[in-house]
């Protein structure tokens, strides 16, 4: 089954970043994913290919007009009917939207096809949002020059969760946020670099001890860097014990260094 992304954008060339290199690009090559780009300028008749105009009421900037975007959306839906695809979810990338996170990525990964709307300038005509958008999504409390980069973030994050996209189907299980915790720290060769050593347990070959160390480390990384995540996650009795243990260990090591 192929998961398709249809993106309405004035900057289709930006999406080459997804299809040229990396694990996601291989998924497109292997037909696990499909990316279709639709430029609103292709749906206007005037010689200047106008897709934006001044906002009613005055103010700076320009606003993307409803007609070219709606024509592009209707063409996408006709294309889906021809391919006998099911219903699509229409998402507008907007700083006003719901915050994108792992839970939302997992939810959207179960959709067979997604239609992503990338705004530019001061955004798009509100009537299109009210009438044809299913959900507004934000990638953070900041503003980008357009919706293309946020759309690429969605495509990448969602695609990783689709079976077969990663080299190992369980690879994303070890990522940060999968189980509500940050990922444990990682090390590779050489074993010692400028007197900095890899933790002995990772060289022990004892998989049970390594798994325990990684869980403790993951708990501590979350406690140290994103304590807000722990408020939303109910720790098991064992996880609580391990967290208190590693906190004591870190405090002890800190005192020794002083």
Q: Is 175 a catalytic residue?
A: yes
Catalytic residue (one of 26, 160, 214, 226): 160
What's the whole-model pTM score? Answer: 0.87
Q: Is 52 a catalytic residue?
A: no
Q: What is the pLDDT of residues 23-32, one digit of tens each?
A: 999 999 999 9
Give the whole-angstrom CA distance, residue 75 versus residue 83: 12
Q: What is the pLDDT of residues 140-198, one digit of tens each?
A: 999 999 999 999 999 999 999 999 998 765 455 555 566 889 999 999 999 999 999 99
* pLDDT range class, residue 134, cuts 50, 70, 90: very high
Q: How many residues does the chain have?
A: 258
Question: Helices 22-29 & 148-159, crossing angle to 10 degrees?
Answer: 70
Q: What is the DSSP letter of 197?
A: E
Catalytic residue (one of 112, 175, 221, 239): 175
Q: Is 221 a catalytic residue?
A: no
Q: Is 160 a catalytic residue?
A: yes
Catalytic residue (one of 26, 34, 67, 95): 95
* pLDDT range class, residue 72, cuts 50, 70, 90: very high
Give the whole-angstrom CA distance, residue 184 versus residue 189: 17
Catalytic residue (one of 122, 183, 221, 239): 122
Question: DSSP string covering 170-195, please?
Answer: TGGGGSTTTTSSPPPP---S-SEETT
Q: Which residues of 121-136 are buried (b: 16+ CB within 10 A; e: fewer)?
A: bebbbeebbeebbeee
Three-state SS at 107: helix
Output the pLDDT for position 76: 96
Question: DSSP string covering 114-167, please?
Answer: EEEEE-BTT-B-HHHHHHH-SEEEESSSS--SBSHHHHHHHHHHHHTTSTTSSS
Q: What is the pLDDT of residues 193-252, one digit of tens each?
A: 999 999 999 999 999 999 999 999 999 999 999 999 999 899 999 999 999 999 999 998
The domains located in the chain, with CATH, are 3-159 (3.40.1280.10), 176-257 (1.10.1270.20)
């Amino acid at each position: 089954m192929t998961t398709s992304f249809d993106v309405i954008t004035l900057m289709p060339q930006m999406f080459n970043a997804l299809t040229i290199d990396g694990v996601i690009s291989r998924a497109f090559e292997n037909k696990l994913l499909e990316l279709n780009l639709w430029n609103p300028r292709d749906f206007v008749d005037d010689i200047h290919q106008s897709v934006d105009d001044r906002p009613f009421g005055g103010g700076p900037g320009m606003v993307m007009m409803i007609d070219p975007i709606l024509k592009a959306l209707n063409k996408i839906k006709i294309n889906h009917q021809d391919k006998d695809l099911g219903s699509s979810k229409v998402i507008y990338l907007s700083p006003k939207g719901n915050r994108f996170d792992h839970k939302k990525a997992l939810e959207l990964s179960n959709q067979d096809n997604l239609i992503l709307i990338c705004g530019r300038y001061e955004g798009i005509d509100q009537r299109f949002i009210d009438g044809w958008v299913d959900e507004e999504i934000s990638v953070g409390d900041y503003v980008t020059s357009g919706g293309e980069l946020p759309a690429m973030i969605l495509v990448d994050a969602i695609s990783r969760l689709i079976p077969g996209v990663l080299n190992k189907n369980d690879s994303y299980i070890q990522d940060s946020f999968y189980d509500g915790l940050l990922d444990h720290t990682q090390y590779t060769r050489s074993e010692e670099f400028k007197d900095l050593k890899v933790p002995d347990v990772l060289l022990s070959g004892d998989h049970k001890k390594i798994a325990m160390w990684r869980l403790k480390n993951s708990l501590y990384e979350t406690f140290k860097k994103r304590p807000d995540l722990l408020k939303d996650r109910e720790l098991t009795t064992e996880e609580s014990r391990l967290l208190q243990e590693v906190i004591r260990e870190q405090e002890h090591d800190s005192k020794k260094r002083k």
